A = this chain, B = another copy of it.
Amino acid sequence: MGQATRVSLKDLVRAFGGELLGNADQEITGISTLTSAGPTEIAFLSNSKYRHQLAETLAGAVIIGLADRDASSLPRIVTDNPYAYQARVSTLFNPLQRPLAGIHASAVVDPSAQLGVDVAIGAHVVIGPNVHIGDRAVIGAGCQLGDGVEIGPDAFLYPHVVVYPGCRIGARGIFHAGAVIGSDGFGFAQDQGQWLKVPQTGRVIIGDDVEIGANTTVDRGALDDTVIESGVKIDNLVQVAHNVRIGENTAIAACAGIAGSAVIGKGCRIGGAAMIVGHLQIADGITVSPGTMVTKSLTEPGTYSAIWAAEPHREWLKHAAQLRRMEELSNRVRELEKIIEALERKPS
């Protein structure tokens, strides 16, 4: 479908499934939160703890979970995943806005580049030799694609994305402004107190349906490639170092860093500002909490954490000092144990 402006509940359920209760012909013109929605909008309840908002909403209809099926008398769509459902409905009303196809007069496109049908190349774009751009891809203003870069069909690059030579981006990728793909990995050999640069001759290979956040950086491999598999979502200001491999559908929140040659499994969730040390293996489905530093491979499923949570400054000072006095405390306990042992052995 193109962009919807008005759709009936009946049509939504036909497209996306779910159980429809109440007026099936109710038409809606958009989606909003329970607290902001108006009478022609549909709202959603994805967490039962906000159920009280149902009573007060002015929404014309709601999307709710099975557990909340009867918590409203509004026209409603009942589904086992209201949050995913609202994502689909919202996408119907707010599809990605693709500019008109065409090549802006100010773009510099090498004659050897191959452009698919209906691509849109923005102003001041630079496209190098032997680049291949898939059908309907959008290359935003000021993007720079190096020699031999491949961009999949329906990919969408926002302004100022830089893709270094030889790197590949799959179909439907979304790359936000300032993302840099394929910069040199941080590889230097120490030689008599100086650093010798190790050429970074690998590439970055990115699968389909990957989203990369603003100003995020992904380094090319040293000899082999850096690989981001399909369905991976990476937030803003994330660093992905050389030879990292990220498994399908893993999500990485902002400010995280993945050091060189780390291998992250499929379906992992890496929290904001988490750091993964180089050469580690993270098994499929693992969750790393925000701000957590991972220093050893994680092979068992589960959630891993390690932060010192903010506390009032004086409390923190005390706790930090105590942490440094633990050895002394441990020694004092050992001393007490010895004395007690002696006391117990002493004939009374």
Which A residues are within 8 Å of any B CB, using their own CB? 31-33, 36, 81, 83-84, 86-88, 90-91, 93-97, 104, 106, 108, 122-124, 126, 140-142, 144, 158-160, 162, 164-165, 174, 176-178, 180, 183-184, 186, 188-191, 193-199, 201, 209, 211, 213-215, 217, 219, 223-224, 231, 233, 235-237, 239, 241, 249, 251, 253-255, 257, 259, 267, 272-273, 275, 277, 288-296, 298, 300, 302-313, 315-320, 322-327, 329-330, 332-333, 336-337, 339-340, 343-344, 346, 348
Beyond the given pairs A84-B191, A94-B201, A322-B326, 18 more chain A to chain B contacts, judged by CB atoms under 8 angstroms and listed by A's residue number, are A32-B223, A83-B190, A87-B189, A104-B108, A106-B106, A141-B144, A160-B160, A177-B180, A183-B214, A292-B310, A295-B307, A305-B313, A307-B308, A319-B324, A333-B333, A333-B336, A336-B336, A340-B343
Asked if B340 and A333 sit within 8 Å, CB to CB, the answer is no
Asked if B213 and A215 sit within 8 Å, CB to CB, the answer is no
Docked Cα-Cα span, A241 to B254, in Å, equals: 8
Select one of B165, B201, B249 contacting A195, CB under 8 A: B249
Most interface-central of A86, A141, A298 (chain B CB within 10 A): A141
Select one of B90, B91, B183, B312 contacting A176, CB under 8 A: B183
Docked Cα-Cα span, A338 to B6, in Å, equals: 73
Asked if A198 and B310 sit within 8 Å, CB to CB, the answer is no
Select one of B122, B142, B217, B313 contacting A303, CB under 8 A: B313
Asked if B217 and A214 sit within 8 Å, CB to CB, the answer is yes
Asked if B298 and A310 sit within 8 Å, CB to CB, the answer is yes
Asked if B336 and A310 sit within 8 Å, CB to CB, the answer is no
Asked if A236 and B213 sit within 8 Å, CB to CB, the answer is no
Docked Cα-Cα span, A175 to B65, in Å, equals: 43
Asked if B320 and A291 sit within 8 Å, CB to CB, the answer is no
Docked Cα-Cα span, A320 to B323, in Å, equals: 9
Asked if A330 and B340 sit within 8 Å, CB to CB, the answer is no
**Residue of B whose beta carbon sits closest to that of A311:** B306
Docked Cα-Cα span, A320 to B332, in Å, equals: 19
Min CB distance A330 to B, Å, is: 6
Most interface-central of A87, A320, A324, A339 (chain B CB within 10 A): A87
